Amino acid sequence: MPNSTAPSPIPQRLAGLRQHMANNGIDAFIIPSADPHLSEYVPARWQGRAWFSGFDGSVGTLIVTANFAGLWVDTRYWVQAEHELAGSGIALMKIAAAGSTDHIDWLAANLKSGQCVGVDGMVLGLATARQLNQTLSAQQIKLTTYIDLLSAAWPDRPSLPTQPVYEHQAPYAVQTRIEKIAQVRAKMHELGAEWHLISTVDDIAWLLNLRGSDVSYNPVFLAHVLIGKHQVELFVGAGKVSPELQATLEAQKIYCRDYSQISTALSNLASNTTLLVDPRRVTFGVIESCHTSVKKIDAINPSTYFKSLKNEAQAAHIRHTMEQDGAALCEFFAWLDNTIGKQTITEIDVDTQICAARAKRPGFVSPSFGTIAGFNANGAMPHYHATPESNAVIEGDGLLLIDSGGQYLGGTTDITRMVAIGQPSAEQKRDFALELKAVIALSTAQFPVGTRAPLLDAIARAPLWAAGLNYGHGTGHGVGYFLNVHEGPQNISWLTPPEPQTAMQLGMITSIEPGIYRPGKWGIRIENLVLNVPGDSSEFGEFIRFETLTLCPIDVRCLDKSVLNQAEIDWINQYHATVKARLSPLVSGDALAWLERSTQPI
């Protein structure tokens, strides 16, 4: 939480923004959490929402008028936002889910006919722009997307990142870029598209077997790609692709252009040509460069779907990566068990030590997101991150929640574990057992191929609903292959519409992470990654079951065993037997001793 003795700089920043709004005839200005690629983690240049509000959560929408400022955030961030907005003069506007359009409805209800809403079209999703324009025009409210007020009102705004692009090579890159481009072109042909624009950076990284470090945690780089029938154009920052790599790409008819030339390239498309775009994965400001005669075909990026289907070679690398990650966690948890009570350990120390353990493992590149280490009440905030001001000392009795992950050349990991500190209470142990029942319920489910992922959400919630409990976030997200820790198109969440592209298919990797959160007291979340593998085959069709990929003991010291049935106890014992067998060859000393203690049958 902010230091209450220091005045907030936010009012002064908002005053500067309001002056520029007035100078440009803008009555309300929208600052979304987005960049020109609609990335989850945005480069510093586009972190205007954080700079003008003081809220540093990954998702939120800031709206500023002459006499009002509000931040729209979902349930995951309510507690965090309340702390970080203190003294800013910005109202916390609570929404149920990140995809909510409540802020658009607010604009329509609170602005008058003839007033003007401004937003930088380069960071406004095309689908959102269509809805925003439709809603505002019905109230005779104007919308302008051509003014980027952030550059005017944000002194020393960061520049574009300059880190180099590099190849993701064999043996980890198991499919060539030529093969992937051919897959995408076949889908373009099926849809009747002559051209295809891709702006999502993880799709581009997957397609071209390239990686970068332009944003925190995800090995991606800022770029657009324009695919034609005979060549591919990669719009990327000057100097980011080495001459040697550029020559390799050109030999495969992939040509590097300057990042800023995407608008020119789109404006030069021939009249009446057909362009495939994904309205949810391209911005209004980028696509409006096209001539109005260009026929736009709206469909999900083919690469988004192909990227989600991991083949057998990738699955083998991922299993190996999970073993290395699990071994690193054994080292970390052994350190924690041996150190707690002997010296001061804080939530930040947890982050430092867990990253250090992973860094020793072969193929490790970086964390896959900022570690969440929350003790007792801090664990009740799903997206809590320790800061020097909020950093808790881990002592006494209770529960420590640790959500962490790593980027490896052979895969991406994401895991949450709970740790018993001292003597957890009976109520904490009961909550832990109920949450574990939810994990097991979904982990052991079998369902038909093609089942839409959001429908699986209720399977995990059922044990919690039976106890009168629930949680606000989704149950699971797709996970990339040395790519974004959050990817689609599948998403196990009641908040996601069960659309055709969310269908579960063999080879997808998804998290299972239900939770129980008691604000001001504690939070409980256990998270494993699972792979869609073949299940039964019968006259009723082909089925999918989950293979649990994550390998790390579950701390049964947190558990009220009486809450579980025998099948659930058997699942834990079988899981721990697998974890012990696969991790034992990779650890020794204290880490091996901790592993053996932690995998004893219950």
pLDDT of residue 309: 98
Cα–Cα distance for residue pair 46/35, rounded to 1 Å: 6
Cα–Cα distance for residue pair 70/105, rounded to 1 Å: 13
- Residue 442, judged by CB atoms within 10 A of its CB (0-12, 13-18, 19+), counts as buried
Taking only the tens place, the pLDDT of each residue in 219-237 is 999 999 999 999 999 999 9
pLDDT of residue 170: 95
- Residue 86, judged by CB atoms within 10 A of its CB (0-12, 13-18, 19+), counts as middle
Show the tokens assigned to 369: 């997101």
Residue by residue, DSSP assigns 362-398 as TTEEEESS--EEEEGGGGGSTT----TTT--B--SSE
Is residue 340 predicted with pLDDT exceeding 60? Answer: yes
pLDDT of residue 96: 77
> Which regions of 267-383 does DSSP assign to beta strands (E)?
274-277, 295-298, 364-367, 372-375
Taking only the tens place, the pLDDT of each residue in 59-75 is 899 999 999 999 999 87
Contact 64, 154 (CB under 8 A): no
Q: Residue 600, Cβ neighbours under 10 Å: how many?
A: 11
pLDDT of residue 5: 55
Is residue 556 predicted with pLDDT exceeding 80? Answer: yes
Helix (H, G, I), strand (E, B) or coil at 67: coil
Q: What stretches of 444-563 show up as alpha helix (H) in DSSP?
A: 457-466
pLDDT of residue 487: 96
Show the tokens assigned to 494: 């009641």
Contact 383, 77 (CB under 8 A): yes
Is residue 109 predicted with pLDDT exceeding 90? Answer: yes
Q: Please list the residues that pair with 415 across neighbouring strands.
A: 404
Taking only the tens place, the pLDDT of each residue in 41-64 is 899 999 999 999 999 888 899 999
* CATH dotted code for 166-307: 3.40.350.10
Cα–Cα distance for residue pair 324/320, rounded to 1 Å: 6
What residue ranges do the domains of the chain occupy?
10-153, 166-307, 309-598
Lowest mean pLDDT among 146-155, 404-413, 556-565: 146-155
Task: Read off φ and ψ for residue 347, nearest 5 degrees.
Answer: -60, -35
> Which residue is associated with the tokens 């604000």?
519
Show the tokens assigned to 119: 């937003």
Contact 476, 212 (CB under 8 A): no
What's the topology of domain 10-153?
A: Creatine Amidinohydrolase; Chain A, domain 1 (3.40.350)
Q: Does the fold of domain 166-307 match that of domain 10-153? A: yes
Cα–Cα distance for residue pair 504/250, rounded to 1 Å: 36
Long-range contacts of 156-162 (CB under 8 A, 24+ apart): 157/45, 158/43, 158/44, 158/45, 158/47, 159/45, 160/43, 160/45, 160/222, 160/237, 160/259, 161/43, 161/44, 161/45, 161/213, 161/214, 161/215, 161/221, 161/222, 161/237, 162/237, 162/239, 162/240
pLDDT of residue 115: 96
What integer is the mean pLDDT of 507-534?
97
What integer is the mean pLDDT of 266-282?
95
Residue by residue, DSSP assigns 399-447 as EEEEEE-EEETTEE--EEEEEEES---HHHHHHHHHHHHHHHHHHT-EE
pLDDT of residue 482: 98
What integer is the mean pLDDT of 264-272?
95
pTM attached to this predicted model: 0.92
pLDDT of residue 1: 39
83: confidence class by pLDDT, cuts 50, 70, 90: confident
Helix (H, G, I), strand (E, B) or coil at 202: helix
Is residue 498 predicted with pLDDT exceeding 90? Answer: yes
- Among residues 475, 552, 546, 479, the alpha carbon closest in space to that of 510 is found at 479
Show the tokens assigned to 452: 């839409």
> Which regions of 195-231 does DSSP assign to beta strands (E)?
195-198, 210-211, 223-227
pLDDT of residue 2: 42
572 or 216, higher pLDDT: 572
Taking only the tens place, the pLDDT of each residue in 457-475 is 999 999 999 999 999 899 9
Contact 90, 71 (CB under 8 A): yes
Close Cβ partners of 231 (under 8 Å, ≥ 6 residues apart): 253, 254, 255
176 or 97, higher pLDDT: 176
| CATH superfamily label, 309-598 | Creatinase/methionine aminopeptidase superfamily (3.90.230.10)
Close Cβ partners of 587 (under 8 Å, ≥ 6 residues apart): 327, 330, 331, 595
Is residue 382 predicted with pLDDT exceeding 50? Answer: yes
Packing angle of the helix pair 102-110, 126-137 (nearest 10 deg): 30
For the sheet with 254-258, list strands across it.
Answer: 254-258, 232-236, 223-227, 195-198, 274-277, 295-298
Mean pLDDT for the chain overall: 95
437 or 215, higher pLDDT: 437
Is residue 387 predicted with pLDDT exceeding 90? Answer: no
